[in-house]
């Protein structure tokens, strides 16, 4: 079989648009493998090349037809101790929850050829695939290689939408149904009227940022001192990609919001993947003044029933993290892995 690998830098990325659009339709792909998402990464996330690192798009051809694109982050040599030289899939840090190669029909022999060629070109034999979904063909092909070690697994949560609102109600635990009733009773008792927006075009993003940041302040305050200082040290040493919030930087996202009057009580920022009939939730926050009314739970419950009625979306993927609210609305866990491979 005749394979060939071509290389494109960040400036040449637009030349891949037409072929990328074809490959992003594959069943193993998510919104994070879309051309639009990587276009945003190139603008806000991927830094200029230096003597320490560079980005490259390795394009695999089979008999003159593009069958796979590999967005790689090349660390040319170890620096500051914790930034290990090797070849990574671009997006392993930041807001990309799932990394992968871009393909429609997975080609195991082609992937082997690609990895060997990239290793030879850059003189590196260590590959790190961080945040790969464990149910995709590329992950399972790599994991069977004898030279692979699986370092860790992280939990993600997703909800597969049932066919009717009645079926969804039956999916919820008794405790979840009771919490929803209690929240509405408290609203009624306190004379609070709410408004839920499924696709809020006018939300104040600065308020969303402030609500989200308060959540992380609370999280750090609960952290042990040893863990806090360890994280602080690693933060100073580890290379940082572009610092961005997608709901500022990416114009194609959406907001699920709940208001009391004009006051924002909760928000969820999500990506809508109509190609794969999925929604991916990226960020969330609850106004601490309204926690007793469970605004996040109420807005999600209404949103889920709305999606079931419209029948355009099959899955709500809450992505990385095992926060309790994800399970409370009926989500079930799935996993991503981190693989280290030597050639």
User: Could you give phi then psi for residue 230, rounded to 5 degrees?
Assistant: -65, -45
306-331 pLDDT tens trace: 999 999 999 999 999 999 999 999 99
Would you state the pLDDT for residue 146?
72
Would you state the pLDDT for residue 129?
95
Ranges of residues in the chain whose predicted pLDDT is under 70 = 1, 81, 216-240
| pTM beyond 0.75, yes or no | yes
Would you state the pLDDT for residue 224?
65
Would you state the pLDDT for residue 35?
98
Three-class HEC string of the chain: CCEEEEEECHHHHHHHHHHHHHHCCCCCCCHHHCHHHHHHHHHHCCCCCCCCEEEEEEEEEECCEEEEEEEEEEECCCECCCECCEEEECCCCCCCCCECCECCCCCHHHHHHHHHHHHHHHCCCEEEEEEEECCCHHHHHHHCCCCEEEEEEEEEEEEECCCCHHHHHHHCCHHHHHHHHHHHHHHHHCCCCEEEECCCCCCCHHHHHHHHHHHHHHHHHCCCHHHHHHHHHHHHHCCCCCCCCHHHHCCCCEEEEEEECCEEEEEEEEEEECCCCEEEEEEEEECHHHHHHCHHHHHHHHHHHHHHHHCCCCEEEEEECCCHHHHHCCCEEEEEEEEEEEC
Would you state the pLDDT for residue 27?
97
d(CA 139, CA 284): 29
254 touches 273 (CB < 8 A): no
Would you state the pLDDT for residue 152?
84
Would you state the pLDDT for residue 229?
61
Would you state the pLDDT for residue 209?
94
Would you state the pLDDT for residue 296?
97
User: Could you give phi then psi for residue 174, rounded to 5 degrees?
Assistant: -60, -40
Would you state the pLDDT for residue 149?
83
Could you give the domains of the chain? 3-154 (3.40.630), 158-334 (3.40.630)
Would you state the pLDDT for residue 233?
63
């Amino acid at each position: 079989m005749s394979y060939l690998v071509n290389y494109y830098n960040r400036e040449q990325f637009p030349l891949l648009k037409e072929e990328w659009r074809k490959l992003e339709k594959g069943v193993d792909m998510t919104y994070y493998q879309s051309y639009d998402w990587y276009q945003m990464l190139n603008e806000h996330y991927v830094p200029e090349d230096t003597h320490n690192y560079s980005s490259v798009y390795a394009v695999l051809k089979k008999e003159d037809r593009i069958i796979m694109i590999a967005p790689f982050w090349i660390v040319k040599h170890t620096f500051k101790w914790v930034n290990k030289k090797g070849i990574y899939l671009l997006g392993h840090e930041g807001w990309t929850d799932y990394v992968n190669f871009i393909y429609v029909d997975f080609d195991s022999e082609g992937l082997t050829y690609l990895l060997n060629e990239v290793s030879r070109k850059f003189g590196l034999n260590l590959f790190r695939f961080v945040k790969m979904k464990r149910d995709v063909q590329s992950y399972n092909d790599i994991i069977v290689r004898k030279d692979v070690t699986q370092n860790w697994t992280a939990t993600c949560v997703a909800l597969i939408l049932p066919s009717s609102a009645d079926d969804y109600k039956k999916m919820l635990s008794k405790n979840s149904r009771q919490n929803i009733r209690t929240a509405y009773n408290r609203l009624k008792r306190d004379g609070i009227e709410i408004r839920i927006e499924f696709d809020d075009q006018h939300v104040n993003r600065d308020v969303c940022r402030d609500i989200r940041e308060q959540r992380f302040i609370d999280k750090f305050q609960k952290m042990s001192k040893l863990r806090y200082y360890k994280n602080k040290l690693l933060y100073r040493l580890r290379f940082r990609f572009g610092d961005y919030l997608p709901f500022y930087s990416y114009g194609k996202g959406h907001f699920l919001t709940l208001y009391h009057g004009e006051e924002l009580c909760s928000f969820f920022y999500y990506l809508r993947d109509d190609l794969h009939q999925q929604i991916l939730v990226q960020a969330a926050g609850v106004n601490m003044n309204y926690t007793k009314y469970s605004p996040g739970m109420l807005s999600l419950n209404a949103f889920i029933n709305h999606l079931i009625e419209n029948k355009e979306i099959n899955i709500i993927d809450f992505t990385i993290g095992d926060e309790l609210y994800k399970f409370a609305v009926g989500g079930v866990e799935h996993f991503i892995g981190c693989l280290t491979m030597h050639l």
